């Protein structure tokens, strides 16, 4: 097992390394002279030359790349060229927001998706299955921003049931400790603010969770149906066990493995979806930050944040794979 884990971790290294090259070249292939572009109307030839020199842009590309890599290995992710704050500082304050949102969306997708999938599988002959199929079909066919804008307009703007945007009512001030709103509000001893933070979380989580919800529903349904046809399930039924007992004891125990795998696979999609969700709901997370950075040509933020995103993505995949291998030893030797 340990050997397998080590092998998997080692295999992630070339990917991150390759990614650093891709990102580095991407940034340097952006049209125009970064120095002149960033100086804008201040750009005199002398000033541009000076900035190029200060940035190391007058060095050969491979030298620049090695400098970049050296910094990375020392944990230096650079500074934003827009607000001059270290990338890691902004990332640290914004990342918890994305984690909170992503987990809430995943919780929503799993919490609704699995029961919905089981429900559909139990009623394949009835209209219920059709309804669930249609729900999941809509789930994957509605763009996040369409669903998000609709929920926002109907439930917040018109009906005033839930807040439109942000993570907490602006009138409330909570000391930032972990930057996880749900934790900080509790640390501050403010259950009312905790509820408020929870209410802010609902709509973005639904919008972001809609696609995983659809996928988890489908997989649960399919895998329950697969197991349903297995002999031991028929035997259990033949023994006269109640349908509920068969469901809990025999079907789900065996059907959950593919479901768990798919849940793991959703993380990449959730990070991508967070980019749009955070824009719709003015959510202060890394997704919106990266989009702004790309549009602002904020070089170091783009380089470093995408690298961090990829790192998280690979780490989650690794955890899923290891978990899977742990549960299913055949994988390890394949």
Q: Contacts with other proteins: how many residues (CB under 8 A)? A: 88
Q: How far is CA 260 from CA 87, 119, 216, 327, in A?
A: 34, 18, 9, 11
Q: Are 202 and 249 in contact (CB under 8 A)?
A: no
Applying CB under 8 A, does 227 fall inside the site for other proteins?
Answer: no
**Among positions 1, 58, 63, 83, the unique one binding other proteins when judged by CB under 8 A:** 83
Alpha carbon 310 to its chain centroid, in Å, reads: 11
Cβ-based neighbours of 60, under 8 Å, separated by 6 or more: none
Cβ proximity to other proteins, 129 vs 241, nearer residue: 129
Q: Closer CB to other proteins, residue 152 or residue 247? A: 152
Instruction: By CB under 8 A, tell whether 125 contacts other proteins.
Output: no
Tell me: does residue 302 bind other proteins (CB under 8 A): yes
For other proteins, the binding residue among 1, 6, 9, 37 (CB under 8 A) is: 37
Q: Binding to other proteins by residue 44, rule CB under 8 A?
A: no
Question: Residue from 1, 9, 22, 107 that binds other proteins (CB under 8 A)?
Answer: 22
Q: Is 164 among the residues that bind other proteins (CB under 8 A)?
A: yes
Q: Which stretch binds other proteins (CB under 8 A): 166-174, 239-247, 248-256, 319-327?
A: 166-174
- Within residues 140-159, the interface with other proteins by CB under 8 A covers 140-146, 149-150, 152-153, 156-157
- What minimum distance in Å lies between the beta carbon of 295 and other proteins? 5
Site for other proteins contains 31 (CB under 8 A): yes
323 binds other proteins (CB under 8 A): no
User: Binding residue for other proteins (CB under 8 A) from 5, 59, 65, 78?
Assistant: 78
Distance between CA atoms of residues 117 and 22, nearest Å: 40
Rg (alpha carbons) of the chain, rounded to whole number: 24
Q: How many CB atoms lie within 10 A of CB 66?
A: 12
Instruction: Pick the closer one to other proteins by CB: 249 or 269.
Output: 269
Q: How far is the CB of 104 from other proteins (least distance, A)?
A: 17
Minimum Å gap between C-beta 99 and other proteins is 15
Ramachandran angles phi, psi of 30, nearest 5°: -55, 135
Question: In whole angstroms, how close is the CB of 321 to other proteins at the nearest point?
Answer: 13
Query: Which contacts of 222-230 are long-range, i.e. CB under 8 A and separated by 24 or more positions?
Result: 222/258, 223/255, 223/256, 223/257, 223/258, 223/259, 224/117, 224/118, 224/121, 224/122, 224/251, 224/252, 224/255, 225/121, 225/124, 226/255, 227/251, 227/254, 227/255, 228/121, 230/254
| For other proteins, the closer CB: 38 or 255 | 38
3-state helix, strand, coil in the chain (%, to 5): 80, 0, 20
Binder to other proteins among 61, 66, 111, 138 (CB under 8 A)?
Answer: 138
Q: Does 252 bind other proteins (CB under 8 A)?
A: no
Given the complex with other proteins, which of 3 and 160 has the nearer CB atom?
A: 160
Question: 81 by DSSP, 3-state: which?
Answer: coil
From candidates 99, 313, 320, 332, binder to other proteins by CB under 8 A? 313
- Rounded Cα distance, 29 and 135, in Å: 44
176 contributes a contact to other proteins by CB under 8 A: yes
Decide if 206 contacts 199 (C-beta within 8 A): no
Contact set for other proteins, span 257-296 (CB under 8 A): 261-262, 265-266, 268-269, 271-273, 275-276, 279, 282, 284, 290-291, 294-296
Q: Which of 10, 46, 62, 160 binds other proteins (CB under 8 A)?
A: 160
- Two tokens at 173? 């001030």
Q: How far is CA 210 from the centre of its chain?
A: 13
The secondary structure of residue 40, as a DSSP letter, is G
């Amino acid at each position: 097992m340990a050997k397998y884990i080590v092998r998997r971790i080692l295999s992630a290294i070339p990917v991150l390394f390759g990614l650093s090259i891709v990102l580095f070249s991407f940034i340097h292939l952006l049209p125009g002279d970064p120095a002149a572009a960033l100086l804008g109307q201040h750009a005199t030839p002398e000033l541009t030359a000076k900035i190029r020199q200060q940035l190391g842009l007058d060095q050969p590309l491979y030298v620049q790349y090695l400098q970049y890599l050296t910094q990375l290995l020392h944990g230096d992710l650079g500074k934003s060229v827009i607000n001059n704050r270290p990338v890691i500082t902004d990332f640290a304050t914004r990342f918890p927001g994305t984690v909170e949102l992503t987990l809430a969306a995943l919780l929503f997708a799993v919490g609704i998706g699995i029961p919905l999938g089981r429900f559909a599988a139990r009623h394949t002959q009835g209209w219920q299955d059709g309804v669930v199929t249609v729900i999941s079909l809509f789930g994957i066919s509605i763009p996040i921003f369409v669903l998000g804008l609709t929920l926002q307009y109907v439930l917040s703007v018109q009906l005033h049931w839930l807040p439109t945007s942000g993570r907490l009512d602006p009138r409330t001030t909570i000391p930032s400790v972990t930057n996880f709103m749900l934790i900080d509000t509790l640390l501050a001893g403010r259950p009312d603010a905790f509820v408020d933070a929870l209410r802010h979380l609902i709509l973005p989580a639904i919008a972001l969770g809609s696609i995983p919800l659809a996928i988890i529903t489908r997989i649960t349904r399919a895998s329950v149906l697969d197991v349903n046809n297995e002999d031991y399930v028929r035997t259990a039924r033949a023994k006269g066990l109640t349908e509920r007992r068969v469901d809990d004891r025999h079907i789900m125990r065996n059907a959950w493995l593919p479901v768990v795998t798919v849940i793991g696979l959703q993380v990449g999609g959730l990070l991508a979806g967070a980019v749009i969700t955070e824009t719709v709901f003015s959510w202060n997370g890394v997704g919106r930050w990266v989009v702004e950075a790309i549009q602002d040509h904020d070089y170091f933020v783009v380089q470093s944040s995408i690298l961090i995103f990829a790192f998280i993505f690979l780490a989650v995949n690794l955890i899923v794979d290891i978990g899977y291998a742990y549960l299913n030893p055949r994988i390890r030797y394949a």
